[in-house]
Amino acid sequence: MRMTKRTTVRLPDDLLTRAKRLAARDGRTLTDLISDGLRRVIEEGKRKKPSKRVLPRVSKATGGLMPGVDLTRFSDYQELEDLEYIERLRTGPK
């Protein structure tokens, strides 16, 4: 037997009305409809891949940061991003 807990959920009137209609049409309870919806959202969140992190460019010659890049100044990093973006616009996708 599953353990269930009671809770209060505040929903917009129109959403609640539509959910009740859908549950009735499918011969289900509103609780089942909400539970299934929450399960889907939680499962989809587990399947999403983490977003790719963008790291600053590294000089291949010395193994350090590119000349003029100061990681303590965000504006330097943003300027490099902007320059790369402009170059991609000029040359097109690779």
Global pTM exceeds 0.75: no
**Same structural domain, 43 and 68:** no
**Same structural domain, 64 and 43:** no
**Same structural domain, 69 and 90:** yes
Is 5 domain-assigned? Answer: no
**Same structural domain, 41 and 56:** no
**Same structural domain, 39 and 68:** no
pLDDT at 1 exceeding the cut of 60: no
CA dist 23 and 34 (Å) reads 9
What are the tens digits of pLDDT across the range 8-61?
Answer: 989 899 999 999 999 999 999 999 999 999 999 888 877 766 667 777 766 566
**Same structural domain, 62 and 42:** no
Domain hosting 43: range is 13-47
The number of distinct structural domains making up the chain is 2
Q: Which residues pair with 65 in a beta bridge?
A: 58
Could you give the angle at which helices 13-25 and 30-47 cross, rounded to 10 degrees?
100
